């Protein structure tokens, strides 16, 4: 479920200069929103999913066309307002500047339509991911209400959002959340400067009712914390082109394995790291296919230096 989808336009420049007139590459237009990116990544790798999202206006119609072309199975809910457009400016050294619109508010009627769509689709065997930002004026109660539509049907809930939305979602008792380091730090109200501090923070959220916390750490890899303890993994990226959407591909990779075999946490974390690293090496919000994903640059670290300072983000 992506409650705030977008059209993502990506251009490349030699160097971003504030106040200058710059020439860009030809734009690349792709469907956007974290949940949309997740479904796109799964589709590229032959994993079935359904992207549920509200659409509105001409932008929503174009988003629908792009998703169909990408082979993503969708359930689109027409709503009021307009679908937002985002701009990504990429530089050759991998620096990415994103300009994201807030999106349009959803009415009470819009939320009712989204809830009805979820109720018509979800079964007890499903994993349902709520991913990305929320529209303006969306309350925690409205977001949690949608999530409880899923959990009341017995499905497994995963959440990838931030700020107040992440805090609110914990009351829905998700089985999995996927914050990055900054999002996890915000959720616990303190800086996280080492792997050991990340693990302690993740355990704190587990204490609030979250079953698993999967933390993406960029150049420092990732940590999975569950009732079985903590698993630390690392990956190497030879050429970084864009980090946009890499976390979504990371989560897609994890669920592609974990949703089939929940005992295979190690293999799921390896898959997540491989998909995320592949995404970083691609331009814009491109998602990796089987030919892009490599496992030789991924490893689990069985005796990590828990107190090693994390790379600044």
Which positions are annotated as active-site residues? 248
**Encoded tokens for 57:** 């206006």
Contact 146, 113 (CB under 8 A): no
How far is residue 286's CA from residue 135's CA, in Å, rounded to a whole number?
A: 24
**Encoded tokens for 202:** 């993740």
Cα-based distances in Å from 173 to 91, 130, 150, 206, 211: 40, 13, 11, 10, 8
How far is residue 101's CA from residue 230's CA, in Å, rounded to a whole number?
A: 37
The maximal CA–CA distance of the chain, rounded, in angstroms, is: 54
Tokens 């790798």 correspond to: 45
**Encoded tokens for 301:** 């670290």
Show Cβ contacts of residue 312 under 8 Å, excluding neighbours closer than 6 positions: none
With CA atoms as reference, report the closest residue to 116 among 55, 75, 84.
Answer: 75
Contact 127, 96 (CB under 8 A): no
User: What does residue 268 show for φ and ψ, rounded to 5 degrees?
Assistant: -65, -40
């Amino acid at each position: 479920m992506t409650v705030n989808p977008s059209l993502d336009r990506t251009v490349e420049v030699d160097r971003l200069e504030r106040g200058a007139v710059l020439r860009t590459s030809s734009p690349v237009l792709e469907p956007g929103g974290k949940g949309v990116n997740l479904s796109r990544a799964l589709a590229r790798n032959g994993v079935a999913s359904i992207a549920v999202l509200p659409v509105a206006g001409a932008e929503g119609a174009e988003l629908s066309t792009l998703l169909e072309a990408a082979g993503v199975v969708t359930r689109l809910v027409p709503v009021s307002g307009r679908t937002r457009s985002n701009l990504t400016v990429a530089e050759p050294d991998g620096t990415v500047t994103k300009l994201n619109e807030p999106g349009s508010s959803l009415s009470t009627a819009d939320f009712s339509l989204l809830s009805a769509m979820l109720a018509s689709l979800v079964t007890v065997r499903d994993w349902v991911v709520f991913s990305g930002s929320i529209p303006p004026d969306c309350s925690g109660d409205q977001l949690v209400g949608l999530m409880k539509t899923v959990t009341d049907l017995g499905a497994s809930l995963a959440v990838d959002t931030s700020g107040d939305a992440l805090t609110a979602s914990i009351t829905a008792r998700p089985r999995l959340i996927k914050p990055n380091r900054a999002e996890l730090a915000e959720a616990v109200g303190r800086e996280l400067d080492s792997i050991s501090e990340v693990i302690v923070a993740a355990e704190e959220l587990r204490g609030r009712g979250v079953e698993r916390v999967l933390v993406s750490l960029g150049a420092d890899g990732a940590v999975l914390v569950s009732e079985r303890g903590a698993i630390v993994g690392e990956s190497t990226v030879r050429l970084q082109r864009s980090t946009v959407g890499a976390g979504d591909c990371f989560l897609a990779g994890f669920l592609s394995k974990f949703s089939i075999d929940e005992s295979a946490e190690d293999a799921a974390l390896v898959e997540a790291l491989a998909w995320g690293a592949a995404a970083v090496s691609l331009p814009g919000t491109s998602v990796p296919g089987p030919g892009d994903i490599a496992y030789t640059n991924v490893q689990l670290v069985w005796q990590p230096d828990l107190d090693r300072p994390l790379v600044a983000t």
